[in-house]
Amino acid sequence: MLVSLNLLKRYVDLPATATPEEVVAKLSACTVEVEDFFEAGKDLKNIVVCKVVKLEKHPNADKLRIVRVDMGKDSLLKVVCGGINLYEGMLTAVALPGAMVKWHGEGESVKLERTKIRGEESEGMICAANEIGLADRFPAGELEIIDLTVLDFQIGKSLAEAFELDDVIIDIDNKSITNRPDLWGHYGIAREVAAIYDSKLKPLEIEEKAETREAKDKDGSGLKVSIKDYKLCPRYLGLMVENVKVKESPLWLRNALTLVGLRPINNIVDVTNYVMVEIGQPMHAFDAEVVGNIVVRVANQGEKIITLDKVEMELDPETLVIADSKKPIAVAGVMGGLHSQITDKTKKIILEAANFEAVGVRKTSQRLGVRTDASMRFEKSLDVNLAEAAIRRASYLIKEIIPEAKVAETIVADGKVATSEETIEMSVGYIQTKTGVEISKGEIVDILKRLGFVVKDKKENLAVTVPSWRATGDIKTKEDLSEEVARIYGYEKIKPEFPEVRIKTLPREGERIVINKIKDQLSGRAAMNEILNYSFWPKKLVDDLGVEREAELIGLLNPLSEDQAYLRMSLVPGLLKNISDNSRFYDEFKLYEVGRIFLDRKGKYKIEKHSKEHLPDQPYYLAGALVGPANKEPFWEAKGIIEGLGEEFDLDFVAWSAGRNPFYEFINKMTDKEKRLVIVNGKEKIGWIGEVNVSTADYFGVKNRKIAVFELDLTAILEAKEELKQYRPAPKYPVVWRDIAIEVAWKTHWENIKKEIAKINPLIKEITFLSEYDLGKKKSLAWRVKYQSEERTLKDEEVAALEAEVVGMLESKFGAKRR
Amino acid sequence: MVPSSSFAEFKAGFFPLIFTKERINKEDMLQDKLKKIKQEITAELERTRTLEQLEELNKKYFSRASGELTQLVREIKNLAEEERPMIGKIANEIKREAEELIDKVRVGLVEHSAGQNKEKIFDPTLPGRKGAAGSLHILTQIRREVEEIMAGLGFIVVDGPELESEWYNFEAVNVPSWHPARDMQDTFYVKSKGKIQKAKVGGEGEREIDYKLVMRTHTSNVQVRAMEKYGVPLRCIVPGRAFRNEATDARHEHNFHQVEGLMVDKNISIANFKAVLDAIIKSILGADYKTRIRPGFFPFVEPGFEVDLSCILCQTKGCRVCKQTGWVEFCGAGMVHPNVLKAGGVDPEKYSGFAFGFGLERLAMMRYGINDIRLFESGDLRFLRQF
């Protein structure tokens, strides 16, 4: 919301020392978030009002003229100009060297310099409205310069000053006044400034004489208004104004609106908007010739209205409308109807000021997809009493700017007048404890009074009555009052003080420790780079991989784009995309991610403490991807990494049996049919490791590289009870190492050989794989065996006998031959 | 070079003692042989000029199968029983000294030969051989740092769901469905395949709540969960992912990371919050940083604060980075709203607290001069490997 400092100053006296910077600093320290503030007239620097004294032909150009202008100085200024509407005696604006202008109203502003045009010296530039950012106020044809003659400005005056643009505009963050309906107009902000500076808030000039006639006191004549739903519309006021002449507003009004970002329309609409800008109460004006008596009711199913923005809207019984006896004439709190809008021909108007219930307006505005200056205010829950203040202020202004208008002497009203005021009791001690400051009773009372609260001292407690403009849901509890006191007292004055705490047993954060251990191992020993990817999957990925057939896939209801249509159910596709993106810069690299995936099945978290319903499952997963040149086998390194983790956690591998894929079908489809294994924890299948098949790599745009991938559900590992390692003394007797190489059929798996050897004798302590060779029809396998006894030194003969036993077993069980 | 002083010692050695008795018998013969062999070894060593020659010598005298000294030692077992210990001792002594001398000669030869090859000079300025390096994501690093610091202040680290019920994400933290504050947080809603619209809630105030699921818009969803699980007094932080349904640009990201902090105890004041906040900031960013609080609106707190940090570039003097204000916005905070305490089963008349929430990305951006928030989840190794 834009706030004009000049307008603020009309309602509150500021000390002469208060600079705009200071006001802004205080507002942001005590009240709201100020996004920015700027001098309104700074774009008009070095542009002054001048009078065209003499027009001469340009000797070298037909379309240009030499203009002598008077700018209140001793001598005339010589300016070359191509404006077609120039005449002697005309008042216009001349930009002097140093001014910022937009050539022909287009492009960036440039700094004006003294120049020669077609050989003739030009000491300035006579401006068109669009060249100095005034096109909104002075619409003009092409090549027409700005004509200020009717405004009768003083010659030589700076244009900013002449237009009352020497103002400072403060841009307040709307989010910071979400809870403050009273701050959606200048008067509310002025009230805060007055409280901060301990200065007096001036009363608004309003129409005081008019009588408000409540609907229940029927007298049968004139305008009638009635409310059908007092919950959705607590208050409605109407005022008939006849004999109006709709035309452009006076300059001060147009300026005031433009300064705070509103477009002037006509004198009637401008008055309603100006009142909103002043006190935050949206208003509306109907053409009284085309509407009858006013009824506030919910719409009938299927009723339609064409709103001011010329859009036809279909209404339903959840929408509150303003209607006459025939049809809706406005969507309450959101927008007026086109049919009854104020036009040049309008002679008679009905002014409306009403209070609409916040949630209703908010829902309607959301349903219709329209957010207006009015709906933004109503949905914050406005003070019911503000409506009457608004209509009286509007009445006052109309009488001022349209003296011939005949304003009705009676304001017609329906609904309640807010009288019930909330009173909150609190102790001085409460404020002191809450703030941590020994703030005195006197000071607390003073601050609250400055903000408009009525405070009664009841010895033990203070009874604080909330003014109507804050009793809008904003101030309800003593916590709310503590904020009022603390912010005006000044947060910066509160001295930091550490809390005194009791030491307490802390729960052991097992999961975090385990995740840290895993990451340390992967980023350290395995030299992998940790990645964080989005939790979302694009629709295209889901379609292309056929994931939508997976029952546990979860979709987003309102994705921003198709790139975030689903929640990820695997970390692997993200890593494959990372590989594709990075492979332009690196040949070999290793990535991993630890993060939650989302599955539509019962998870561990409840939706509420007492509810039986659970949130969908969202386990932590770990996935890694290793990429290398086509002649390497990153599969082995990937497996080694999992084996490394297996030293810390209980992990093992089992075969990925064909036809019985333990995981999702899309994962089955992504991996090579031979190069893959299932990772188990105890008996539970918790993950897999495999090579990405060529078609999948190709889909992700990775060519001539091999990619190995692993993925594990960490749930079991994170929940496992930590098993502490037990110390074992180093063996006392020497080790004997023996290497063996055999020739064996390709189909023979190393894992089986190893298991069988281990069974032979407990003196066989370790079997370490050395190599696999291609022998054509068969393969060679080599390994090293560690023999060791815990009781004695082994004899050569003993080891030789064991070795013979191993070879014998290999021959009989696997048809192997020692090499 | 062969160290000559060693030879002198070796020659002097035990010989005077050994040769005092003049007896011609087996043991004397063996002693003689040992003496001779010792002289031979000494003499040969003096002539040894290369490592190859040294290896030959080693084999000749010490080989397990046929070494001359080895043979002599084997003969000891043929001596009379009473003679064996003395001669054995002498033999071992000779063997040990000879071996030590050979090692010294070897070292001399190795060092000598290294100095000989003047043409092939070792270049120690070649780069070392590093093992491959991995990396933790910069957000993991900075998150761990924050966790360490907060743990030091007695805050436990709590985790919670990223896909959350509307109840914990909004209602429980005092953002009812009609509240305009919901507009402040563009929310991703999740399709629920189940038909449930309302879920029954048991316990004291039995009621129905909306069964709608959202991607949590902040990690404040864990405030009430943490109070329920751990009770009060409570000090915890909740680092984790959060989501906002908004278009991305250099300053906005729909997936981001937040750290929520919560302290609930008796008589917690604004002054307490200021002190703890200051301690946290100074620990994380450095003692040069100052903090200030301003009014701010967040439904879960009352009063609510905007927390600013002094601009480190200009030390609050005003510069381009801080838009001439001297301060940069850092996080939202406030004193926990009584409704939130109530939702967590805590009596707001007895307990009070503060809460704050800041973006980890923002912290990292300020600290490392990162100018685009989208880099964090880009997976770009050119970025990630810098940290």
B116, B146, B168 - which closes a domain: B116
Provide CATH 3.50.40.10 ranges for chain A. Answer: 211-415
Å from A524 to nearest chain B CA? 6
Question: In CATH, what class is A510-719?
Answer: alpha beta
Interval B207-243: pLDDT, tens: 666 678 999 999 999 999 999 999 999 999 999 999 9
> What CATH architecture applies to the domain A211-415?
3-Layer(bba) Sandwich (3.50)
Provide CATH 3.30.930.10 ranges for chain A. Answer: 510-719
> Do the domain assignments include residue B126?
no
> Do the domain assignments include residue B131?
no
CB A375 within 8 Å of CB A354: no
Q: Are residues B72 and B145 in the same domain?
A: no
Per DSSP, chain B holds a count of helices (H) and strands (E) of: 13, 12
Q: Are residues B108 and B160 in the same domain?
A: no
- What pLDDT score does A551 carry? 86
Pairing state of beta strands A77-81 and A566-567? unpaired
Alpha-carbon distances of B364 from B148, B368, B372, rounded to whole Å:
16, 6, 11
> Do the domain assignments include residue B130?
no
Instruction: At A699, give phi and psi (nearest 5°).
Output: -60, -40
According to CATH, the superfamily of the domain at A46-157 is Nucleic acid-binding proteins (2.40.50.140)
CB-based contact B213 A479, cutoff 8 Å: no
Of B134, B246, B337, the CB nearest to A527: B134
What SS3 string covers A250-288? CHHHHHHHHHCCCCCCCHHHHHHHHHHHHHCCCEEEEEC
| Percent of chain B's residues with pLDDT above 70 | 86
How far is the C-alpha of B229 from the C-alpha of A808, rounded, in Å? 62
Q: Are residues B296 and B162 in the same domain?
A: yes
- What pLDDT score does B99 carry? 85
How far is the C-alpha of A627 from the C-alpha of A637, rounded, in Å? 10
Per the structure, the complete domain to which residue B238 belongs is given by 138-384
Q: Are residues B150 and B100 in the same domain?
A: no
Which ranges constitute the DSSP H helices of A13-107?
20-30
Provide CATH 3.30.70.380 ranges for chain A. Answer: 736-818
Q: Looking at domain A2-41+167-197, does it have CATH number 3.30.56.10?
A: yes
CB-based contact B267 A567, cutoff 8 Å: no
Q: Are residues B292 and B248 in the same domain?
A: yes
CA atoms lying within 13 Å on the CB side of residue A17: 1
> Do the domain assignments include residue B213?
yes
> Do the domain assignments include residue B124?
no
Q: Looking at domain A424-493, does it have CATH number 3.30.56.10?
A: yes
Interval B155-199: pLDDT, tens: 999 999 999 999 999 999 999 877 766 765 689 999 866 555 566
> Do the domain assignments include residue B342?
yes
* Closest residue, chain B, to A620 (C-alpha): B161
- What pLDDT score does B20 carry? 46
Q: Tokens 């994962």 — which residue?
A: A667
- What pLDDT score does B23 carry? 47
Q: Are residues B164 and B19 in the same domain?
A: no
CB A223 within 8 Å of CB A412: yes
Kindly report the pTM of this predicted structure: 0.83
Å from B206 to nearest chain A CA? 9
Q: Are residues B175 and B269 in the same domain?
A: yes
Count structural domains, chain B: 2
Q: Which of residues 418-447 of A touch B (CB under 8 A)?
A: 433-437
Which of A607, A612, A613, A615 is the best substitution to test chain B (most B C-beta atoms within 10 A)? A607
CB-based contact B270 A29, cutoff 8 Å: no
B52, B81, B116 - which closes a domain: B116
DSSP per-residue letters across A497-545? -PPP----PPPP-HHHHHHHHHHHHHHTTT-PEE----SEE-HHHHHHH
Q: Provide the token pair at A413.
A: 């009203």
Would you say residue B1 has pLDDT above 50? no
Q: Are residues B160 and B96 in the same domain?
A: no
What SS3 string covers B172-210? HHCCCCCCHHHHHCCCCEECCCCCCCEEEECCCCCEEEE
CB B104 within 8 Å of CB B85: no
Question: In CATH, what class is A736-818?
Answer: alpha beta
Q: What is the CATH number of the domain that holds B179?
A: 3.30.930.10
Would you say residue B313 has pLDDT above 80? no
Would you say residue B10 has pLDDT above 60? no
Cis peptide upstream of residue A139 (ω within 30 degrees of 0):
no
Task: For chain B, state the CA radius of gyration.
Answer: 41
Q: How confident is the model at residue B7 (pLDDT cuts 50, 70, 90)?
A: low
Q: Are residues B194 and B294 in the same domain?
A: yes
Q: In sequence order, which residues have a C-beta less than 8 Å from that of residue A27 and are 6 or more positions away?
A: A34, A170, A172, A189, A192, A193, A196
Of B131, B190, B263, the CB nearest to A557: B190
Splitting chain A (819 residues) into consecutive groups of 10 residues, what average pLDDT does each group show? 95 92 94 90 87 91 91 89 90 91 82 88 89 78 84 87 86 91 96 95 92 74 88 95 94 91 94 97 95 93 93 93 94 95 94 95 91 94 95 96 93 82 92 95 96 92 94 92 96 95 84 94 96 96 89 90 93 96 94 96 91 92 95 93 92 77 83 92 92 94 94 93 85 93 94 94 95 93 95 92 95 93
ipTM of the complex: 0.85
- Helix A251-259 to helix A267-279 angle (10° resolution) is 50
B69, B86, B116 - which closes a domain: B116
Q: Are residues B240 and B326 in the same domain?
A: yes
CB-based contact A554 B163, cutoff 8 Å: yes
Residue (of B288, B287, B290) closest to B307 by Cα position? B290
How far is the C-alpha of A128 from the C-alpha of A130, rounded, in Å? 6
CB B295 within 8 Å of CB B305: yes
> Do the domain assignments include residue B52?
yes
CB-based contact A175 B267, cutoff 8 Å: no
Q: Are residues B83 and B160 in the same domain?
A: no
> Do the domain assignments include residue B192?
yes
